[in-house]
Structure 1
Amino acid sequence: MAAIGVVLFDMEGVLSHYDRDARVASLAAATGAPPEAVRHAIWGSGLEARADAGELDPDAYLRALGGMLGCKVGRDLWLASRRASIAPNEAALALAARVAARCRIAVLTNNCSLVTDHLDYLNPPVARLFGARIYSSAAFGAVKPAAQTYLGCVAHLGALPQETLFIDDSEANVTGALDAGLQARHFKDADALAHDLHRLGLIDG
Structure 2
Amino acid sequence: MTPGISLVLFDMDDVLSHYDRSARINYLSALSGQEPETVHAVIWGSGLEDRADAGSVSNEEYLRTMGDLLGCRITREDWLASRRASILPNMEVLALVTALAARYRVAVLTNNCRMVSDHIQFLNPAVAELFGDQICSSALLGAAKPSVNAYLRCLDRLGAKAAETLFVDDLETNVGGAIRAGLHGHVFTGAESLSAELQRLGLL
TM-score bin, normalised by smaller chain: over 0.9
User: What pairs with 1:93-104 in structure 2 (closer than 5 Å)?
Assistant: 93-104=94-105
1:67 and 2:56 are equivalent in the alignment: no
The residue type paired with residue 163 of structure 1 is E
Structure 2 counterpart of 1:92: 93
Structure 2 counterpart of 1:143: 144
Question: Pairwise CA RMSD of aligned residues?
Answer: 0.9
Cα distance in 1 for residues equivalent to 2:40 and 2:189: 26
Structure 2 counterpart of 1:161: 162
SS in 1 for 2:55: coil
Structure 1 counterpart of 2:187: 186
SS in 2 for 1:21: helix
Cα distance in 1 for residues equivalent to 2:34 and 2:192: 40
Distance apart, 1:33 and its partner CA: 2.0
After TM superposition, where is structure 1 displaced by more than 6 Å over at least 4 residues in a row?
Answer: none
TM-score (norm 2): 0.97
Distance apart, 1:61 and its partner CA: 0.4
Distance apart, 1:34 and its partner CA: 2.0
Distance apart, 1:71 and its partner CA: 1.1
Query: Equivalent pairs: percent with the same residue?
Result: 56
Contiguous gaps of at least 5 residues in structure 1: none
Distance apart, 1:140 and its partner CA: 1.5
Structure 2 counterpart of 1:77: 78
1:41 and 2:42 are equivalent in the alignment: yes
Cα distance in 2 for residues equivalent to 1:145 and 1:68: 27
Cα distance in 2 for residues equivalent to 1:139 and 1:7: 20
Contiguous gaps of at least 5 residues in structure 2: none
Equivalenced residues, count: 203
Cα distance in 1 for residues equivalent to 2:67 and 2:38: 11
The residue type paired with residue 66 of structure 2 is L
Distance apart, 1:198 and its partner CA: 1.3
Cα distance in 2 for residues equivalent to 1:84 and 1:109: 18
